[in-house]
Amino acid sequence: MSASPTDGRVRKGDRTRLTIVRRAADIASLEGLEGLSIGRLAGDLEISKSGVFAHFGSKEELQLAAIAAASDVFVEHVLTPVRATPPGLIRLWQLVDRWIAYSRDRVFPGGCFFFHASAEFDGRPGRVRDSLAEAWRLWRATLTREIEAAKRAGAAPADLDSAQLVFEIIAFLETANGVSVLHDDTLVYERAATAVRSRLLSASTDPTTLAAELTP
């Protein structure tokens, strides 16, 4: 059965929307979500303003779509590659390693999309801020689950403060991202990796065995 003209238009529309939101996420990683505009995207992608507007209808909807697209990219580059690894400290380390690669390799040209966008909207209540806060909550929850799995397996002390460890890990990663973008310095990622590795070894009940699994 051949596809109808309507099916073809729908697929083309979906592809156009994906192209727009990915470009929007790239721009936002450098210039912020407030830097997005229908006109800017239309010019960059050589499509009509009405074509861009038809997909979103407002700047806020465009911003929310950019966040959703950035979340999909984050999942693809950071979360999906480690799913085959059993839960625990090794998978936690792999998540950190993938996050560093995602930021260092400039999957988004401005480094971590959420680092920039969150700083821009952290004091501005509304749907955009709520969407960014939810993305961060899910990332923290992901790291916390790995620590809790390690505790249940006896690989980490039962009284280990998971929230504190997650706070420290994210602080190391965010600092590396910010310094790297500002100073064009990639060595800070090695420092962040060293810091996280040291922290995980100190949190392990068997640091000698874990050390062999955590490639420096």
pLDDT tens, position by position, 87-115: 999 999 999 999 999 999 999 999 999 99
Q: With b meaning 16 or more CB within 10 Å and e meaning fewer, what string describes 49-64?
A: eeebbebbeeeeebbb
Q: Is the pLDDT of residue 155 over 70?
A: yes
- What is the end-to-end Cα distance of the chain in Å, rounded? 55
| 0.75 surpassed by pTM | yes
Provide the domain limits for residue 117.
Answer: 5-213
Q: Across all residues in the chain, what is the average pLDDT?
A: 92
The pLDDT of residue 173: 98
Answer whether residue 43 shows pLDDT above 60. Answer: yes
User: Looking at the predicted structure, is the pLDDT value of residue 1 above 60?
Assistant: no
Report whether pLDDT(116) > 90.
no
* Residues 49-78, mean pLDDT to the nearest whole number: 92
pLDDT score of 8: 52
Give the pLDDT of residue 11: 61
Reported confidence tier of residue 51, pLDDT bands at 50, 70, 90: confident
124 contact partners, CB below 8 Å, separation of at least 6: none
Q: Are 97 and 212 in contact (CB under 8 A)?
A: no
Q: In sequence order, what are the residues at sequence separation of 6 or more whose Cβ sits closer than 8 angstroms to the Cβ of residue 102?
A: 74, 77, 78, 112
Query: In whole angstroms, how far apart are CA 34 and each of 27, 127, 128, 136, 171?
Result: 10, 14, 11, 19, 25
Confidence at residue 180, expressed as pLDDT on a 0 to 100 scale: 97
Whichever domain contains 94, its CATH number is 1.10.357.10
Q: Is the pLDDT of residue 213 over 70?
A: yes
Which pLDDT band, with edges at 50, 70 and 90, does 3 fall under?
A: low
Q: How confident is the model at residue 170 (pLDDT cuts 50, 70, 90)?
A: very high
Secondary element (H or E) of residue 117:
helix 113-121
**What whole-number distance in Å separates Cα of residue 107 and Cα of residue 135?**
17
The residue type of 18 is L
Q: State the total domains in the chain.
A: 1
137: tokens are 């909550």
